[in-house]
């Protein structure tokens, strides 16, 4: 037993590998290090960008296939709540083959629901992709029970934060709206990529909380993560949506992923 198993004292990155290359390596690297600093974990000295990429062992993967790569990091030390100040970290890597190459094209069209059994609180820990994923497990289980593809997670004030495995955006006119990180929303890598690419589609980004009712006035609703890229919600309750702008964004994401590297 390690501290991740015992207490959730760890975090992880879920990444897509396509044609032997890690998609958006710089964004994943800096999110991982930011999360480790929030959790006050000691970062290995050899984890420069090049050293971290070497630790991933990508050369062991078939370059003709795509993979979902999970990079799990946990704090070393004896069991007990109090961590050892100078404890290092250990890590593991799991790779699962994915169908197709590159982010899905055309975009996925999930049906969306609402998870109301539990709420997510604001705070810096909400930005971290930590080993404690109980809220997301319960939300994903609820979605499966209701025969839905995804469900929205809310804060105690019933405002939307994210989905069980995605960040969420709504498109309204020329605005792209997503909950701010200060609200406790997960700091998603694809969220960051989409925000950076939005001006190329003539979309201005606004970070603010919105209620589930705001989805009824949206032109499109997007769900984003590092495996699917951009997905365009097909239906939320009785409201249906288009996917044209989501497809345009996915095309930008695919193009950007083919050239993304450490600067």
Please state the domain count of the chain: 2
Domain boundary among 98, 130, 165: 98
Q: Are residues 117 and 78 part of one domain? A: no
Give a yes or no: residue 207 inside a domain. Answer: yes
Domain boundary among 98, 121, 147: 98
Query: Over the stretch 222-238, which tens digit does the pLDDT of each residue have?
Result: 999 999 999 999 999 99
Give a yes or no: residue 211 inside a domain. Answer: yes
Domain residues for the domain of 16 are: 3-98
**pLDDT band at 73, cuts 50/70/90?**
very high
Q: In Å, how far from its chain's centre is CA 213?
A: 24
What is the pTM (predicted TM-score) of this model? 0.96
Q: In this model, does residue 132 exceed pLDDT 70? A: yes
Domain boundary among 98, 131, 151: 98
Taking the C-alpha atoms of residue 75 and residue 95, their distance in angstroms, rounded to an integer, is 22
Q: Are residues 209 and 172 part of one domain? A: yes
- The CATH number assigned to the domain holding 144 equals 3.20.10.10
Query: Over the stretch 154-205, which tens digit does the pLDDT of each residue have?
Result: 999 999 999 999 999 999 999 999 999 999 999 999 999 999 999 999 999 9
**pLDDT band at 261, cuts 50/70/90?**
confident
Q: Are residues 227 and 121 part of one domain? A: yes
Q: In this model, does residue 54 exceed pLDDT 80? A: yes
The residues near 254 (Cβ < 8 Å, ≥ 6 apart) are 102, 103, 105, 229
């Amino acid at each position: 037993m390690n501290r991740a198993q015992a207490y959730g004292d760890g975090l992880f990155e879920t990444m897509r590998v396509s044609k032997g290359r890690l998609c958006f390596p710089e964004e994943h690297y800096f999110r991982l290090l930011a999360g480790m600093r929030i959790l006050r974990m000691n970062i290995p000295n050899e984890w420069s960008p090049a050293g971290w990429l070497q630790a991933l062992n990508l050369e062991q993967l078939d370059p003709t296939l795509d993979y979902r790569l999970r990079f799990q990091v946990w704090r070393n030390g004896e069991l007990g709540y109090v961590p050892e100040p100078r404890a290092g970290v250990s890590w593991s890597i799991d790779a699962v083959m994915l169908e197709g190459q590159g982010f899905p094209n055309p975009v996925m069209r999930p049906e969306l629901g609402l998870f109301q059994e539990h709420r997510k609180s604001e705070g810096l820990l909400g930005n971290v992709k930590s080993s404690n994923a109980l809220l997301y497990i319960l939300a994903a289980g609820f979605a499966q029970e209701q025969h839905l593809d995804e469900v929205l997670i809310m804060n105690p004030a019933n405002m939307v934060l994210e989905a069980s495995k995605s960040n969420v955006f709504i498109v309204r006119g020329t605005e792209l709206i997503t909950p701010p990180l200060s609200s406790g929303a997960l700091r998603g890598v694809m969220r960051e990529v989409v925000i950076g690419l939005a001006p190329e589609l003539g979309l201005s980004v606004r970070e603010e909380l919105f209620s589930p009712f705001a989805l009824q006035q949206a032109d499109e609703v997007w769900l984003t993560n590092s495996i699917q890229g951009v997905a365009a919600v097909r239906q939320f309750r009785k409201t249906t949506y288009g996917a044209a702008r989501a497809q345009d964004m996915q095309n930008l994401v695919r193009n950007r992923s083919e050239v993304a590297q450490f600067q």
